[in-house]
Amino acid sequence: MKSTKTTLTRKTLLATAVMSASLFAASTSAQLAGHNVILVHGFQQEDLSDPPANLDEVKAAGEDYWRTFWLSRAEARIDWPSNGRVEGSIAEQAYQQMQSISQQGLCDNYCIVVSHSTGDLVTRYLLENQARWLQADGLPPLKILTSLDFSGAGGGTELADLAVSIAYNDSWYLAPVKAAVKAFTGITPTPGRLGVVNDLQTNTARNLAVGPNDIPRIRLVAGGSSYGGITKPFIEGKDDGVVPVHSACGATTAEGIDSCVSNLSLGGKYTSQNGPDGLYYNHYPVLMNEDVSHSGVLGSETGNISVPVVNNTTLNGFRVDFASRTYNQRAWWQWWGAGDRYIEVPGSDQTDMSSLVYNTLN
Q: Dump pLDDT digits (tens) for 153-212.
A: 999 999 999 999 999 987 867 899 999 999 999 999 999 999 999 999 999 999 999 999
pLDDT in tens, 45-61: 999 999 999 999 999 99
pLDDT of residue 338: 77
CB-CB contact of 288 with 260 (8 Å): yes
pLDDT in tens, 320-341: 999 999 999 887 777 777 789 9
Strands 313-315, 318-320: pairing is antiparallel
pLDDT of residue 3: 41
The more confidently predicted of residues 30 and 129 is 129
pLDDT of residue 221: 98
CB-CB contact of 127 with 162 (8 Å): no
pLDDT in tens, 121-157: 999 999 999 999 999 999 999 999 999 999 999 999 9
pLDDT in tens, 335-359: 777 789 999 999 999 999 999 999 9
Percent of the chain surpassing pLDDT 90: 87
Q: Residue 35: in which H helix or E strand, if any?
A: strand 35-40
Closest to 227 in 3D by CA, of 287, 163, 184, 275? 184
pLDDT of residue 265: 98
d(CA 52, CA 59): 10
d(CA 357, CA 285): 13
Distance of CA 36 to the CA centre of its chain: 19
Eight-state DSSP code of residue 350: G
pLDDT of residue 1: 59
- Please tell me the pTM assigned to this model: 0.91
Closest to 292 in 3D by CA, of 301, 283, 282, 279? 301
Report the 10 Å Cβ neighbour count for 327.
12
3-state SS track over 191-215 = CCCCHHHHCCCHHHHCCCCCCCCCC
CB-CB contact of 113 with 147 (8 Å): yes
d(CA 258, CA 245): 7
pLDDT of residue 23: 36
Strands 111-116, 144-150: pairing is parallel
pLDDT in tens, 214-254: 999 999 999 999 999 999 999 999 999 999 999 999 999 99
d(CA 149, CA 171): 37
The secondary structure of the chain in percent helix, strand, coil, rounded to multiples of 5, reads 35, 15, 45
d(CA 297, CA 32): 17
CB-CB contact of 257 with 275 (8 Å): yes
CB-CB contact of 197 with 164 (8 Å): yes
Fill in the amino acid letter for 319. R
Closest to 149 in 3D by CA, of 115, 108, 102? 115
Strands (E), 139-240: 144-150, 217-222
pLDDT of residue 20: 40
CB-CB contact of 252 with 318 (8 Å): no
For 36, the 3-state DSSP assignment is strand
